[in-house]
């Protein structure tokens, strides 16, 4: 029995990791590293603080968090830091939601494992939920005067204001990012049915192009920083991914198919709600939600609940609730979590009934 379970875990590792390392994981980590290195987060934040219009701030927060953090450990300080620096509460919570629910690494991996329709739905759903969450937080908590910013200590606070007005991103950096995206998509979309070596071949050509351009266009120092950031992502996320995928394999073996089918099958509100709760309570390291959802779908989970789980899995977890409550206060945490659970349920139900 134990041996069976270990074997299931190992098979999952082979299916979800080994097959994806070269053509999906390596380019995705390179892209994430490049985003962190070359896109000026400070500029995004600067404009976010300067924007008075709510809708614009919301859009900026949602779009910006796509670039800001792909690692969940950094997003709470980003969001709370912004909030206490005077940014709108809606924008702060949008970042808190979008960064983990729809970051580049998770989206790429979702695409590789679950297909492009699922990624598309995931992005749209995450953005729609982001705007509603931002709106709800604004309506419930907006006071006539902005939330008293915490008194800042020392002169360090004022120093940054002028320095943050840097360019968002240089032209060479844009080209590099686009090339990276192509190197990520090309192997999987040009060679959809072909043998695996054909994918690797396309990947190799694309990667040579990316690095030739990088060496030609960028100074050595920045390339070094890029590699450094990429290596950080690998170091932080890869072990969690390995462990997570192994656990997914074991769980898939343990769960009786009838249970999954009856509890999470179809696209009823109930199934969607259950998937949302499951995702909201348990902790999924970024990217692990994709193989987990794939495993559950093979056991009979419906596509609607799958979407709900994909979003809330990495987006919320019990430890995450506690951290939010500590930083933002219990009231805001409760409103946020309840809103996400309601929205997740509705989005799952809607996607299951009208999209798939």
Partner 1 sequence: MKIEILGSGCPKCFETERRVQKVVQELGLHAEVIHVSDMMEIARRRVVFTPAVAIDGEVKISGHVPTEDELKAILSPR
Which residues are at the interface with partner 1 (CB under 8 A)?
Answer: 36, 41-42, 45, 71, 73-74, 76-78, 80-85, 150-157, 159-160, 225, 228-229, 232, 235-236, 323, 326-327
Of 99 and 310, the one with the shorter C-beta distance to partner 1 is 99
Phi and psi at residue 221, to the nearest 5° = -60, -45
Residue 50 Cβ, how far from partner 1 at the closest point, in Å? 14
Least gap, CB of 299 to partner 1 (angstroms): 34
CA distances from 50 to 47, 53, 88, 114, 151 (A): 5, 9, 10, 39, 19
Structure tokens at 258: 């009838």
Q: How far apart are CA 121 and CA 139, in angstroms?
A: 27
State the residue for tokens 């994709």.
290
> Closer CB to partner 1, residue 5 or residue 234?
234
Closest distance of CB 221 from partner 1, Å = 10
Provide, rounded to whole angstroms, the least separation between the CB of residue 69 and partner 1. 9
15 vs 164 by CB, closer to partner 1: 164
Min. distance of Cβ 88 from partner 1 in angstroms?
A: 15
Ramachandran area for residue 167 (φ above 0: left; ψ -120 to 50: alpha; else beta): beta
- The least distance separating partner 1 from the CB of residue 283, rounded to whole angstroms, comes to 15
Of residues 81 and 146, the one with the C-beta less far from partner 1: 81
**In contact, 267 and 235? CB cutoff 8 Å:** no
| Cβ 327 vs Cβ 120: under 8 Å | no
Contact of 130 with 60, CB cutoff 8 Å? no
210-248: b or e for each residue (b if 16 or more CB lie within 10 Å)?
beeebeeebeeebbebbeebbeebbebbeeebeebbbeb
Whichever of 188 and 320 has its CB closer to partner 1, that residue is 320
CB 179 within 8 A of CB 203: no
Q: Closest CB to partner 1 among 31 and 278?
A: 31
Q: Quick one: 81 or 270, whose CB is closer to partner 1?
A: 81
- Cβ distance to partner 1 smaller for residue 158 or 171: 158
Give me the least distance between CB of 155 and partner 1, in Å please. 7
For residue 243, the minimal CB distance to partner 1 (Å) is 15
Distance of CA 214 to the CA centre of its chain: 26
50-59: burial string, b at 16+ Cβ within 10 Å, e else: ebeeeeebbb
300 CB-contact burial (10 Å; exposed 0-12 / middle 13-18 / buried 19+): middle
φ/ψ (deg, to 5) at 280: -75, -30
| Smallest separation (angstroms) from partner 1 to the CB of 153 | 6
Closest to partner 1 by CB, 2 or 73: 73
CA distance 81 to 98: 16
């Amino acid at each position: 029995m134990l041996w069976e379970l270990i074997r299931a875990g190992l098979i999952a590792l082979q299916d979800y990791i080994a097959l994806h390392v070269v053509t999906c994981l390596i380019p995705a980590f390179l892209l994430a590293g490049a985003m962190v290195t070359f896109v000026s987060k400070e500029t995004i934040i600067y404009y976010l603080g300067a924007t008075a219009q709510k809708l614009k701030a919301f859009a900026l927060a949602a779009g910006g968090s796509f670039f800001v953090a792909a690692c969940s450990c950094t997003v709470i300080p980003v969001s709370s830091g912004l909030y206490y620096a005077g940014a709108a509460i809606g924008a702060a919570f949008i970042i808190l939601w979008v960064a983990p629910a729809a970051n580049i690494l998770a989206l790429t991996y979702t695409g590789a494992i679950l297909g492009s329709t699922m990624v598309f739905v995931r992005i749209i759903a995450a953005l729609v939920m982001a705007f509603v969450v931002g709106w709800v937080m604004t309506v419930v908590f907006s006071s006539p005067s902005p939330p008293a910013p915490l008194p800042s200590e020392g002169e360090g606070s004022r120093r940054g204001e002028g320095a943050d007005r840097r360019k968002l991103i240089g032209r060479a950096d844009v080209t590099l990012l686009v090339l990276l995206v192509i190197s990520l998509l090309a192997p999987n979309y040009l060679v959809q049915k072909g043998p695996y070596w054909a994918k690797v071949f396309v990947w190799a050509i694309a990667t040579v192009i990316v690095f030739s351009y990088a060496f030609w266009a960028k100074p050595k120092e920045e390339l070094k920083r890029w590699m450094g950031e990429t290596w950080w992502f690998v170091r932080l996320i890869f072990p969690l991914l390995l462990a997570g995928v192994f656990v997914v394999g074991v769980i898939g073996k343990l769960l009786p198919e009838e249970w999954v089918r009856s509890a999470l099958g179809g696209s009823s509100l109930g199934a969607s709600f259950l998937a949302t709760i499951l995702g909201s309570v348990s902790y999924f390291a970024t990217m692990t939600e994709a193989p987990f959802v794939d495993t559950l779908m093979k056991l009979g989970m419906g596509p609607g609940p799958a979407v709900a789980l994909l979003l809330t899995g990495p987006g919320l977890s019990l430890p995450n609730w506690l951290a939010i409550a500590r930083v933002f206060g219990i009231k805001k945490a409760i409103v946020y979590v309840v809103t996400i659970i309601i929205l997740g349920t509705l989005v799952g139900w809607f996607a299951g009934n009208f999209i798939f």
